[in-house]
Amino acid sequence: MNESKFLKLNLKDLAKSAIIAGLTVVVTGAITILSAITDATGQLPTLEDFCKLLISGLIAGAIYLLKNLLSNENKEFLKG
């Protein structure tokens, strides 16, 4: 397997990070919209809510990259 070394990232890590970020936005967005529809007010999410969703996706992707950055090729965390 072509795993990244300790304190290094490769394109595979970046691609997986983008997938994690995208899925986070889609899932939390769906939950937000569904809960708004079933809410008594029936008010859909605002632009501010969608900005928060994007920020949560970026944070999830950044955390995934940080985890991979601090793991070695054997997927051991903080062991260089």
Mean pLDDT of the chain: 90
Q: Kindly report the pTM of this predicted structure.
A: 0.83
* pLDDT band, residue 29 (cuts 50/70/90): very high
HEC per residue, 14-80: HHHHHHHHHHHHHHHHHHHHHHHHHCCCCCCCCHHHHHHHHHHHHHHHHHHHHHHHCECCCCCECCC
β-strand partners of 77: 71
The pLDDT tens digits for 63-76 are 999 999 999 888 88
